[in-house]
Structure 1
Amino acid sequence: MMSNTIKTIDDLKAHLHIAMQLEHATIPPYLTALYSIRPGFNPDAVQIIRVVAVEEMLHLTVAANLLNAIGGTPDLTVAGFVPNYPAYLPDGETDFLVHLAPFSKQTLEAFKKIERPRLAPGPQKLVKRPYPAGVTVLGTHPGASDMQYFSIGDFYIAIEDGINLLEKESNAAGKTIFVGDPERQVTSEYYYSGGGELFPVVDIESARAAIRLVMEQGEGVGGGIYDHERELSHYYRFDELTRGRYYQPEDRPENPTGPTFTVDWQAAFPIKCNLKLAEIPAGSELHNAALSFNQAYATFLEQLTQAYNGQPHLLLEAVPRMFKFRNLMGELIRNPLPDSGGFNASATFEVVCSNRVRSTLATVTAEASA
């Protein structure tokens, strides 16, 4: 049964922008936990979190391909694209807060909630829940901010239903919704993660395949621990850390039989959760380091935006940049935060992008509409 929450091409574009925001929203928490692990400890955890972060970048790029395919303009520089953490994410019956926090059992459980396979029990995909004022809520319906999708999986099902409906209506009129410039599609030539092939989205079949990749690899929707390309879903990658054991291709959920390993849950710097710039003494080295990181992250988002708007080669530079953040974040994570009760500093991800990229985007959009 179709969800019928997307009825116009503008609805679909708005949903795909939110899809990009959702996929990106996991990256700061994952990077924070990853770089909070003390050097030389927990190599298995480092590898697992790193792989998932890379694949989230893949999903972000898939969402950009989908938006480009229908004539949209991906923009990671718009105000509010980076959440104000902690932020609410949909998780079935009850939403939850995702934090910028150090590696720990509690943080891992939050990561598993992000990636947990969960779909609404009936046709109703949207739910209404009260939230405190001033918090970021991800996964809301762009036309009804008080309504949120039951789960991330339901959000993507709504997108697929919307694509099916709108393409059917367009075909009946001898048209198609896939009117975007094929040159803006990002393929594996520009990004390789090991977690799936990036292919151009140019029609209904490639759009469905793109959505299936994100849903199966991310949330594990479909019932198996591996997707159709035999890649372990993110939920079960994190479950390996819970159980201290790797999954094998024929394993059942919650019963891995592969090699075992040990996780030292105490081997992380005690960073302060959801730190804000205002909490760091102005003019201090830590404050300057936090500003430098936020500027570097803004540049990263600007570069991604340009890559998704006709310069895909820039992705070859942007993705490695994500892991060069280790040094910038290390200047914060490894140092005590004054008057904090024993906590260390951390990156705040309070990002303000430049007007230059937004001006360029406005020109690109105008030319595309001409």
Structure 2
Amino acid sequence: MTTIQASAHLPLVPIRADEPIDTVEKLYSHLYLAAKLELSTIPLYLYAGYSIKTQNASQWAPGPGAFRLIKSIVIEEMLHLSLARNLIIAIGYGDSVPFCDPLFVPAYPGDMLNRIPKLQLRLAPLTRELVRDVFMEFELPAKADAAPESEEYHTIGQFYQAIHDGFGNLCGAGKANPWGDPDRTRELFKSNRPDLQYVSAYWNQGGGGEPQLVHDLRSALTAINTIVEQGEGMNPDLQKVPLRPEAPQPGQFEEPHYQKFQRIARGWEPIGEVYPVPENPRVEDYPAGPVRDLGLLCNAAYTYVLRLLDEVYSSSWEDVDGGRTSRRYGLERKFIAAMQGLLFGVVNQLVRVPIDKGTYKGCHAAPTFEFYDGFPEGEPMTDHLRELCDKVVPHFPGLGGDNSVLWLIGKMPPLTLARPYA
């Protein structure tokens, strides 16, 4: 068992739209907010995607296509989250951004970070209006001549352009040396821990791009451009982006996120039937008993996944036991299993459960994506997950048995959680 102290993040430096990024502290502050921004998209899109009724549906029926499209965007948002953290590690702040922290986990409804005009993000069943008014506004491309901004910006592309320029400023890039002054570049990346960055790509099937090892100005800008070109701030006149932005190949293209969502908003990709899940649910408002207990298990699984991701980023991929076993590789594989089997296994059960009383009467339950604060301090999180699962299995037998959520919990690393978080 290992423990990560989830209160290590450093104070953020106030950022202004009219000031360039000219210190490492300002760059870190922007990257921290970039990582928070990327995480905020994942529950947002997953909630809408999992509201689609895909159980026992033909692959040709309305719905599965929209679900696959949203899933591809979520996978790429996970890539963007890993790229943002790689950038943070590269400038020496790797220990300062715990994902498993109630201050880092987004809450809904909530305003999109640093956006003018304000855009409220909300968990809601998938509709064309939600996609048009929220998702497409979130992914709104920057105009080709838009000036970079930071604290007050109109698109994510402008925000990332400020980060792009900040790396160039700190590395001393210019016409004579577009990839930076060697001495200043070494200074910026002097505390880099490449062995802690996420560079594996096997988890990324279904989405474009690959993780990027960041170690100099060129690789940092490649990581930023991957995020931007896949849909966050792309020029609206360009309809396609390379499947691998870091290594474009002729004929290998995909639509950016804005264009993918546009397919749903315009009805080109039919949504089909959706579960009547509530908007911005809270687990405490679910009826006491099996439904609320299942919601608590879902939040605990979500929190565990974030904790496991922190563990991945605190483990070196150079640490190989006897030349045979890599703990880091094992953690990465367990992370994918936790996302696809543990968390989504509970979500799939939740959305099929009707609520017959209380605040959400007439709706189906759904994941609330709240930080779960019920793990006993210093004890294996998997022990508590098993207790929560044992409690609901009699009511939801699909969570037990071979290759089930309960079975998978027993295969997960017995991590612990430290308090206080902040």
TM range (shorter): 0.7 to 0.9
Query: Are the aligned partners of 2:354 and 2:365 in contact in 1 as well (CA < 8 Å)?
Result: yes
**Within 5 Å, which residues of 2 pair with 1:1-370?**
4-38=19-53, 39=55, 40=57, 41-73=62-94, 74-89=97-112, 94-109=117-132, 110-118=134-142, 123=147, 125=149, 141=151, 148-168=152-172, 175-179=186-190, 180-189=192-201, 191-193=203-205, 194-222=207-235, 223-228=237-242, 229=248, 230-245=253-268, 262-264=270-272, 267-282=273-288, 284-311=289-316, 312-313=328-329, 314-324=331-341, 325-337=343-355, 338-339=357-358, 340-352=360-372
Question: Does the C-alpha gap of structure 1 residues 90 and 71 become closer, same or farther in structure 2, counting only changes over 3 Å?
Answer: closer
SS at match of 1:16: helix
- Give, in whole Å, the separation in 2 of the partners of 1:80 and 1:12: 20
Q: 1:351 to 1:117 in 2, by over 3 A?
A: same
Q: 1:217–1:234: 8 Å Cα contact kept in structure 2?
A: yes
Q: For residues 43 and 174 of structure 1, what CA distance do their matches in structure 2 show?
A: 47
Alpha-carbon separation, structure 1, partners of 2:136 and 2:230 = 13
Separation in structure 2 between the aligned mates of residue 273 and residue 198 of structure 1, nearest angstrom? 33
The aligned counterpart of 2:394 is: none
Q: What is the DSSP-based 3-state SS (H/G/I as helix, E as strand, rest coil) of the residue aligned with 1:346? A: coil
Contact in 2 for aligned 1:32/1:101 (Cα 8 Å): yes
Runs of 5+ unmatched residues, structure 2: 1-16, 174-180, 243-247, 317-327, 379-415
Question: CA offset at residue 281 of structure 1?
Answer: 2.7
Aligned-pair Cα RMSD in Å: 2.8
Distance (Å, rounded) in 2 between the aligned partners of 1:309 and 1:83: 22
> Could you report, residue by residue, the CA deviation over 1:236-279 in whole angstroms, capped at 9, with x for unpaired residues?
1111223344xxxxxxxxxxxxxxx5442xx1111111011221
**Mean Cα displacement is larger for which, 307-316 or 213-222?**
307-316
Q: Secondary structure at the match of 2:241?
A: coil
Aligned AA for 1:19?
A
Change (3 A) 1:122 1:112: closer
Q: Contact 1:32/1:347 (CA < 8 Å) preserved in 2?
A: yes
Per mean C-alpha deviation after superposition, the further-off stretch among 94-103 and 330-339 is 330-339
Tell me how far apart the structure 2 counterparts of residues 192 and 277 of structure 1 sit (CA, whole Å): 31
More off after superposition, 152-161 vs 3-12: 3-12
Q: Using the TM superposition, give the Cα deviation of residue 151 of structure 1 relative to its aligned residue in structure 2, in angstroms.
A: 2.2
Secondary structure (helix, strand or coil) at the match of 1:157 reads helix
**SS across alignment from 2:188:** coil
Conserved in 2, the CA contact under 8 Å of 1:13 and 1:72?
yes
Q: 1:175 Cα deviation (Å)?
A: 4.1
TM-aligned CA distance change 1:121 to 1:279, over 3 Å: farther
Between structure 1 and structure 2, the one with the greater Rg is: 2
Alpha-carbon deviations, 1:44-80, whole Å to 9, x = none? Answer: 1011011111111111111111111111124202232
How far is 1:14 from its partner? 2.0
Query: Contact (CA 8 Å) 1:92, 1:120: kept in 2 or not?
Result: no
Shift of 1:17: 1.5
**Post-superposition shift, 1:92?**
6.5
Q: Which letter maps to 1:307?
A: V
Q: What TM-score results when the alignment is normalised by the length of structure 1?
A: 0.78
CA distance in 2, matches of 1:336, 1:306: 36
Q: Quick one: distance in 1 between partners of 2:159 and 2:23?
A: 16
Give 3-state SS (helix, strand or coil) of 1:149's partner.
coil
TM-score, normalised to structure 2, is 0.69
Counterpart of 2:408 in structure 1 is none
Displacement after TM superposition at 1:150 (Å)? 2.8
CA contact (8 A) 1:182 1:200 kept: yes
Cα gap change, 1:7/1:242 in structure 2, threshold over 3 Å: closer, same or farther? same
2:204 aligned counterpart, secondary structure: coil
Distance 1:116 1:18 in 2: 18
Aligned residues: 322
Report percent identity of matched pairs: 31
Residues 331, 348 of structure 1: alpha-carbon distance in 2 compared, 3 angstrom cutoff: same
State how far apart, in whole Å, the 2-side matches of 1:78 and 1:319 are: 20
